[in-house]
């Protein structure tokens, strides 16, 4: 199936590794120009080079998405550099699973306001697009209580609500908005890799809870996100797509 992504332009926050990196890779493989940001300048430069090697335009910058001013400035500049913007994927998370005030502030600044700032900055370019789409990366922790209950789960739930509100508010302007809620996703250097090394009991329990007996790979989440972002999903908006290998037990109506 042709997703209709060739020639479009996408921006991914947290796009150097893990789920965000896999989304950037798949978009590029589909012929989409990609702008990305992350905090590590060396990793940003390496990812941009890798994407350009796939034959598409790519640009990136080292940014902390909690700095909304810097984020908004860069998004406007990236859209100008790419000649417009069709797809926005706010992906960055503070992974705030603690219970202290610092964790709540980090989750608010990065997960929630980093997404809101990205949407606001991208809106002028998205309004000029003929295939505008926003895909917010949430989490299954936003729809049920698990070990990440607290700031991480609360703000992931808020993102689902925010995106569904955007879908309703922007439908008349032909801008779609959806969320993807991944289950536990494993990659080298990621949170579950660190848990595997530092807390093998929790890691084993997480594996036990999933009837597939494994965690997701980033590319499995990326395929779902890229489909929702694409013109092939032109009438899908306001949806939260759970990609968790039957980990969660709640029924989503």
Catalytic residues: 138-139, 152, 156
In SS3 terms, 200-238 reads as HHHHHHHHHHCCCCCCECHHHHHHHHHHHHCHHHCCCCC
Give the three-class secondary structure for 174.
Answer: coil
Residue 187, SS3 per DSSP: coil
Rounded distance between C-alpha atoms, residue 190 and residue 149, angstroms = 19
* CA separation, residue 212 to residues 101, 139, 249 (Å): 36, 18, 14
Alpha carbon distance 219, 223 (integer Å):
6
What whole-number distance in Å separates Cα of residue 89 and Cα of residue 13?
A: 7
């Amino acid at each position: 199936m042709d997703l209709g992504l060739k020639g479009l332009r996408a921006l991914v926050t947290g796009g150097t590794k893990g789920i965000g990196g896999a989304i950037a890779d798949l978009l590029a493989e589909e012929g989409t120009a990609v702008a990305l940001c992350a905090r590590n300048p060396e990793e940003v430069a390496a990812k941009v080079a890798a994407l350009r090697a796939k034959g598409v335009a790519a640009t990136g910058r080292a940014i902390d998405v909690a700095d909304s001013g810097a984020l908004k400035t860069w998004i406007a500049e990236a859209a100008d550099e790419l000649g417009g913007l069709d797809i926005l994927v706010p992906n960055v998370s503070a992974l705030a699973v603690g219970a202290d005030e610092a964790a709540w502030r980090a989750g608010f600044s990065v997960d929630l306001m980093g997404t809101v700032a990205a949407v606001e900055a991208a809106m002028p370019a998205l309004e000029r697009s003929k295939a505008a789409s926003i895909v917010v990366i949430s989490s299954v922790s936003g729809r049920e209580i698990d070990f990440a209950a607290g700031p991480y789960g609360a703000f992931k739930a808020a993102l689902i609500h925010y995106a569904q509100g955007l879908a309703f508010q922007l439908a008349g302007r032909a801008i779609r908005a959806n969320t993807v809620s991944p289950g536990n996703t494993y990659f080298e250097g990621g949170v579950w890799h660190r848990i595997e090394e530092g807390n093998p009991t929790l890691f084993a329990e997480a594996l036990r809870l999933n009837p597939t007996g494994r965690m997701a790979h980033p590319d499995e989440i990326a395929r779902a996100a890229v489909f929702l972002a694409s013109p092939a999903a032109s009438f899908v908006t306001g949806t939260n797509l759970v990609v968790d290998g039957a980990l969660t037990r709640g029924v989503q109506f």
